[in-house]
Amino acid sequence: MAIRLSLICLLVSVTAIAADLTPERYWISALPNTPIPNSLRHLFTSDFSDEKSTNVQVGKGGVNVYTGKGKHGGGTAVNVGKGGVHVDTGKGKGTHVSVSGGKGHGGGVGVHTGKPGKRTHVGVGKGGVIVHTRHKGKPVYVGVKPGHNPFVYNYAASETQLHDDPKAALFFLEKDMVPGKAMNLRFNAEDGYDGKTAFLPRGEAETVPFGSEKFSEILNTFSVKPGSGEAEMMKKTIEECEAKRVGGEEKYCATSLESMVDFSVSKLGKDHVRAVSTEVAEKNAPMQKYRIAAAGVKKLSDDKSVVCHKQKYPFAVFYCHKAMMTSVYAVPLEGENGLRAKAVAVCHKNTSAWNPNHLAFKVLKVKPGTVPVCHFLPETHVVWFSY
């Protein structure tokens, strides 16, 4: 009887502390009055996820979870006992997981088996026990166009990037942001993979190596061949994350949604903060001519902001930087084929510390520190600001 009562108490406490295990729950807990942009919500689950139904049975033997394969032999059993949580994946091998409310990972129960992109995550929350089984394999690398991330301002543009990178068209001058102005734009954010790469929960992301000194380990973790195009892409992302900062800006590479929230809140506060991103009515819309709609441009912020740019990597990594003297605008656009977009633009009033050969200066034919330089955000990028 005492053991049964202990089990019930443990399950109740686990349910309470695990409520915020998912990235979405963490956001709601930290920013209850800030809506989640659709661009980030779409990254909670990968295009390669394999969501299965879950049957949960609570009995004397613990909590048994079956992942919907039709036979108990193919499911996952989760047993809660005095020693913690034991997960049997049906292959004769189990995973021992401690239950705690420790700092840094949000507390609760998290079970991870296998490499990133190939693992089963078991979480206990308000809805019971939830099992997410990811697709057997990471997103397929399809190649990327050469050149540095144009939103890292200490790099010079290459001639190839100037002519071939569709993001070059995203830069414009603030004076041109008027109704009727036409621009050739494409808002898709290519990340090098056939399908979007998703967020890892922070507890999982923090176990994955990240950094130039661990690059061989990183390639092994994701089964990437050294010297391949994918390896070079990943290396460039890490180099950009580790590059020196521009001027007085503060920067940070967030490897989880939770860490992005923490960085942004630490710079802007949490009481009056918004996060917005560009929204296009059609998925994978091609490059086309857009005009700024007659409804006009709306200024959202005119001070400091934190802009987070999605990087090219096997899972969602964002290059975030806090910039002073920036303005954020909502810009309604109408495409020549009738497509509508709610674009977000960021204007930098002080570009004196940027590389003089940066892509923006090449495209706009202006010099650093002379005029405000603006850019639209691709769909999966986000800007945070106070209001």
**CA distance linking residue 207 with residue 36, whole number of Å:** 26
| Spatial contact of 67 and 59, defined as CB atoms under 8 Å apart | no
- Output the tens digit of pLDDT for each of the chain's 387 residues: 443 433 334 333 333 333 446 899 999 999 999 999 998 998 986 544 444 433 344 444 444 443 444 444 444 444 554 444 545 444 444 444 444 344 444 444 444 445 565 444 444 444 444 343 343 456 777 766 656 788 888 888 877 777 667 777 899 999 999 999 999 999 986 667 766 789 999 999 999 999 999 999 999 999 999 999 999 999 999 999 999 888 778 999 999 999 999 999 999 998 899 999 999 988 888 889 999 999 889 999 998 899 999 999 999 999 999 988 999 999 999 999 899 999 999 999 999 999 999 999 999 999 999 999 999 999 989 999 998
Task: State residue 150's pLDDT score.
Answer: 80
Nearest to 182 by CA among 291, 340, 296: 291
Sign of CA dihedral 276, 281, 282, 287: negative
One-letter amino acid of 73: G
pTM to 2 decimals?
Answer: 0.74
Nearest to 138 by CA among 226, 49, 44: 49
Q: Which residues contact 141 (CB under 8 A, 6 or more apart)?
A: 192, 193, 194, 229, 230, 233
**CA distance linking residue 156 with residue 147, whole number of Å:** 9
Sign of CA dihedral 105, 109, 115, 120: negative
Nearest to 168 by CA among 381, 374, 376, 363: 363
Task: State residue 191's pLDDT score.
Answer: 67
Task: State residue 173's pLDDT score.
Answer: 96
Specify burial of residue 50 (Cβ count, 10 A radius: 0-12, 13-18, 19+). exposed
**CA distance linking residue 100 with residue 18, whole number of Å:** 9
**CA distance linking residue 58 with residue 94, whole number of Å:** 19
